[in-house]
């Protein structure tokens, strides 16, 4: 399934949440929307699910306008995990999945329904807890059940809002495998997440959003080329003597210190960092340009703090 967002604007109260947002998610993409809290990520998901109406612009899924009547047919093929998980606390794990299965497939036979639910519960290692009320589940178990629920309707588009929240290491590996497996099957995956390390490994396309605007979009390789050319890694003696001056320098965008290594991002037009260090008699052990990870790119695009 393709998702096409064209010049979408959304205001809630007096606050502009989204301002002329446009991008396209292609069939089979693992697409990540990255940005700080309040950037507009969840609002965008609500617009795709037709929970909110845009003030202007258009959103289509598989070329169907989300505000049209035909969208209900498309919706049958959308699986989602929202910020609030959305499971019914008074029902068991099995009953939760059965409710959603009944919504999507009201005419399914009991055997088909049971087979599907059993399969999903086994896949997410919850079969032994099938008759337990979910109010006794840990956050991680509920998250796994919510992931299982997202697959109840055999979706072609998966929308996942903060899917790694509350998951332990095992759960995160399960989530990663889940996303990759579904993408391999040709499903489109749309993720909102702060887990940049996982996104870097998984995503075919990443968009950075802040204050309701898309700042940049591309594959990790494209973004890395664009934003990592001015990042240096410095190992040098007596860093207390020069580090504070470096941080205060106008050509420095941000500085990150870890043990004896200082990573510094400088302005695009600034090429004199080695000279600057020599002029301060810094005893350099190692100085090299580095290709930044997604966190570095995020800091360059959204977080310009020193």
Partner 1 sequence: MNPKLHPLLWKELKRQKKSKITPIIQVIAYCYFYIYLKSIFSIEIVLSLIPLMYVLAIQTDVFHYDFTNYIESLLSLPIEIINIIKSKCIFILLKAYVQSIITTLILLIYHVFIEKKDMVFSVKTFLLIIVLPIWQYYFSYFIGLVIWNLKSKIRIIPYLFQIIILLTCILLLSKNMVNILILIMLGLLLPISIGIKKLTETLSKERILKRSI
Tokens, residue 152: 């109840």
* Interaction between residue 52 and partner 1 (CB under 8 A): yes
Out of 3, 25, 34, 50, the residue judged to bind partner 1 by CB under 8 A: 50
Nearer to partner 1, 75 or 187 (CB): 75
Q: Segment contacting partner 1 (CB under 8 A): 84-92, 191-199, 229-237, 275-283?
A: 84-92
Nearer to partner 1, 25 or 134 (CB): 134
Nearer to partner 1, 33 or 159 (CB): 159
Compute how many other C-beta atoms are within 10 angstroms of the C-beta atom of residue 273: 19
Out of 28, 86, 140, 166, the residue judged to bind partner 1 by CB under 8 A: 86
Out of 9, 91, 217, 243, the residue judged to bind partner 1 by CB under 8 A: 91
What's the closest the beta carbon of residue 270 comes to partner 1, in angstroms? Answer: 45
Out of 20, 26, 27, 51, the residue judged to bind partner 1 by CB under 8 A: 51
Nearer to partner 1, 89 or 122 (CB): 89
Compute how many other C-beta atoms are within 10 angstroms of the C-beta atom of residue 186: 10
Q: What is the DSSP string of 70-116?
A: THHHHHTTEEEE-TT----TTSBHHHHHHHHHHHH-TT--HHHHHHH
* Interaction between residue 80 and partner 1 (CB under 8 A): yes
Distance CA 187, CA 180 (A): 10
Out of 15, 90, 131, 240, the residue judged to bind partner 1 by CB under 8 A: 90
Out of 102, 139, 229, 306, the residue judged to bind partner 1 by CB under 8 A: 102
The H or E element spanning position 198 is helix 196-202
* Interaction between residue 82 and partner 1 (CB under 8 A): yes
* Gyration radius of the chain's alpha carbons: 23
Share in percent of the chain as helix, strand, coil (round to 5): 35, 30, 35
Out of 72, 154, 168, 177, the residue judged to bind partner 1 by CB under 8 A: 72
What's the closest the beta carbon of residue 144 comes to partner 1, in angstroms? Answer: 16
Q: Is 220 within 8 Å of 33 (Cβ atoms)?
A: no
* Interaction between residue 190 and partner 1 (CB under 8 A): no
Out of 24, 46, 211, 235, the residue judged to bind partner 1 by CB under 8 A: 46
Q: Is 231 within 8 Å of 254 (Cβ atoms)?
A: no
What's the closest the beta carbon of residue 52 comes to partner 1, in angstroms? Answer: 5
State the pairing for strand pair 15-25/3-12.
antiparallel
What's the closest the beta carbon of residue 51 comes to partner 1, in angstroms? Answer: 5
What's the closest the beta carbon of residue 4 comes to partner 1, in angstroms? Answer: 19
Q: Kindly list the strands in the beta sheet with 261-266, ordered across the sheet, starting from the edge strand earlier in the chain.
A: 252-258, 261-266, 231-236, 284-289
Q: Segment contacting partner 1 (CB under 8 A): 49-57, 121-129, 232-240, 296-304?
A: 49-57
Distance CA 275, CA 287 (A): 12
Out of 2, 6, 64, 113, the residue judged to bind partner 1 by CB under 8 A: 113
Bridge partners (DSSP) of residue 234 are: 262, 287
Q: Kindly list the strands in the beta sheet with 3-12, ordered across the sheet, starting from the edge strand earlier in the chain.
A: 15-25, 3-12, 56-61, 64-65
**Which stretches of the chain bind partner 1, using CB under 8 A?**
12, 46, 49-53, 72-73, 75-76, 80, 82-91, 95, 99-100, 102-104, 106-110, 113, 133
């Amino acid at each position: 399934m393709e998702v096409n967002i064209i010049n979408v604007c959304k205001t809630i109260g007096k606050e502009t949440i989204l301002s002329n947002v446009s991008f396209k998610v292609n069939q089979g993409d693992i697409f990540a929307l990255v940005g700080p809290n309040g950037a507009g990520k969840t609002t965008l998901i609500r617009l795709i699910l037709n929970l909110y109406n845009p003030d202007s612009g258009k959103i289509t899924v598989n070329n169907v306008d989300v505000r049209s009547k035909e969208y209900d047919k498309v919706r049958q093929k959308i699986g989602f995990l929202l910020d609030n998980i959305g499971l019914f606390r008074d029902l068991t794990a099995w009953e939760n999945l059965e409710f959603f299965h009944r919504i999507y497939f009201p005419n399914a036979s009991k055997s088909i329904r049971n087979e599907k639910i059993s399969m999903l519960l086994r896949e997410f290692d919850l079969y032994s807890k099938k008759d337990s009320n979910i109010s006794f589940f840990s956050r991680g178990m509920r998250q796994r059940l919510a992931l299982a629920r997202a697959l109840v309707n055999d979706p072609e588009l998966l929308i996942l809002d903060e899917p790694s929240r509350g998951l332990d290491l095992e759960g995160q590996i399960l989530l990663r495998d889940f996303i990759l497996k579904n993408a391999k099957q040709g499903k489109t995956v749309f993720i909102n997440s702060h887990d940049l390390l996982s996104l870097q490994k998984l995503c075919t396309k990443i968009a950075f959003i802040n204050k309701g605007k898309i700042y940049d979009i591309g594959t990790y390789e494209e973004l890395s080329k664009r934003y990592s050319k001015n990042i240096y890694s410095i190992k040098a003696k007596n860093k207390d003597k020069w580090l504070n001056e470096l941080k205060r320098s106008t050509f420095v965008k941000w500085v990150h210190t870890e043990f004896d290594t200082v990573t510094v991002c400088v302005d695009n037009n600034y090429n004199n960092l080695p000279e600057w260090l020599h002029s301060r008699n810094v005893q350099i052990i190692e100085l090299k340009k580095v290709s930044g990870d997604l966190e570095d790119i995020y800091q360059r695009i959204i977080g310009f703090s020193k």
